[in-house]
Homo-oligomer: A and B are copies of this chain.
């Protein structure tokens, strides 16, 4: 059939064919109306696909947020979901009315379908982050390429357990990363350069992914052109298997950063050279079986380089004896026709993390609540409470802290169409009240809660923000 054949051609082949096809259509009057209608219908389906970038051609995706976060003096306020001492080791709090930055991901895709039916998807992501409110941020901005990869699917020559598999190589965020949106934290953030295979199907209900990622550690440059000899050799190689049985997911990753144990961290050379990380997760199709909605729950455990339980393999300062266990859960549901609820818990305990004897324990409880009022307007509320008990052993100049942080936000929100937690874009105004134990201010000199800041241990912030993804 014309439709199926044309779909499988590469764009260039299509272009040539269409040029040939169009001419006869307009010149040959002897064609029947039926033939011309069928040809038009087939071609239109194809062009429509291309116009939308569904199967072929260019398409555009985005995540972006931008806004003002002000304190009571009408000055820019510090903030962000990682502003507490626990935030320095991944302990996020709620993000609503708490973000001071403009963060943009511009994602350009190009999809092709080969004549044999094999599909390819190229993706490049350019991202920027700044908390400047200047209209020209070449000095403050941070534009960089976060992803550049190709993925093949529907491979004509794949069969058996590989029949539905797709393969990829390049630089990317792993396809199966998932998050607690309201705290801006992934359960798992696996990213870097490498290659892998998705959806090896052992049976209808059981499938696996396998990947090799190499990545630099976050805190120091790894460009072989610019850094001193040897320092690039700390690249961390991560082998991952990700297995799905029904709603269950079991992920296991092992990693090695050759010679990382020779690096000096806080005066000693006990950094981990290897690590292991595992996660058991459940992706629920309802709100904990109680009502319509969804929920996700996961427990993550890691040792050595694997003790950074979210950003797998990203922290090169972890001690060879580091052990971390994190638990996360969230759900979404409608309480009534107009009220939505999304509670979440994230907690971690980590020991011997950077220095023998240190301890990092924190737990965050967060709830987003929304009241849909008109087609374009809803009231959003977020309550966040975090408790933490941190013994640093003096790592990075930080002091021990033990205390709580709380934040409550109210955000009148406009959107094109209300109807669920995932509808975007949103335009918000918001007011937040946050308060915390004084002791938390002694953790680190430069952080948002530090005592030398204007940011006092209880304060109002307010502002406006847009958020969008598509």
- Which residues of A approach B to under 8 Å, CB–CB? 1, 3, 10-11, 14-15, 18, 22, 25-26, 33-34, 36-38, 40-45, 47-48, 50-54, 57-60, 62, 64, 66-68, 70, 73-76, 78, 100, 102, 104, 106, 108, 110, 112, 114-116, 118-120, 122, 124, 126-146, 148-150, 152, 155-158, 167-171, 173, 191-195, 212, 214-218, 221-226, 229-230, 232-235, 237, 256, 258-259, 314, 374-377, 414-417, 425, 427-429, 452-454, 464-466, 468, 470
- Looking at the assembled complex, report how far the CB atom of A35 sits from the nearest CB atom of chain B, in whole angstroms: 10
Secondary structure dominating the interface of A: mixed
Chain B residues lying within 8 Å of A18, measured Cβ to Cβ, are 45, 48
Complex A-B, nearest 10 residue pairs according to Cβ-Cβ distance, in ascending order: A138-B142, A157-B374, A169-B466, A114-B416, A195-B464, A66-B170, A135-B191, A114-B417, A140-B223, A134-B216
A284 to B339 alpha-carbon distance, docked (Å): 51
On chain B, the residues within 8 Å of A157 by CB distance are 374-377
Cα A62 to Cα B218 in complex, Å, equals 28
Q: For residue A453, which residues in chain B have a CB less than 8 angstroms away from its CB? A: 229
Q: Which residue of B lies closest to A127 (CB)?
A: B136
- A148: chain B residues at CB < 8 Å are 64, 66, 102, 104
Query: Shortest beta-carbon distance, A323 to chain B, in Å?
Result: 24
Contact B118 A375 (CB under 8 A): yes
A143 touches B138 (CB 8 A): yes
Please list 10 pairs of residues, one from A and one from B, whose beta carbons are closer than 8 Å in the complex, sorted by A's number. Answer: A1-B26, A51-B51, A52-B57, A64-B122, A74-B237, A112-B470, A122-B470, A134-B217, A135-B192, A137-B144
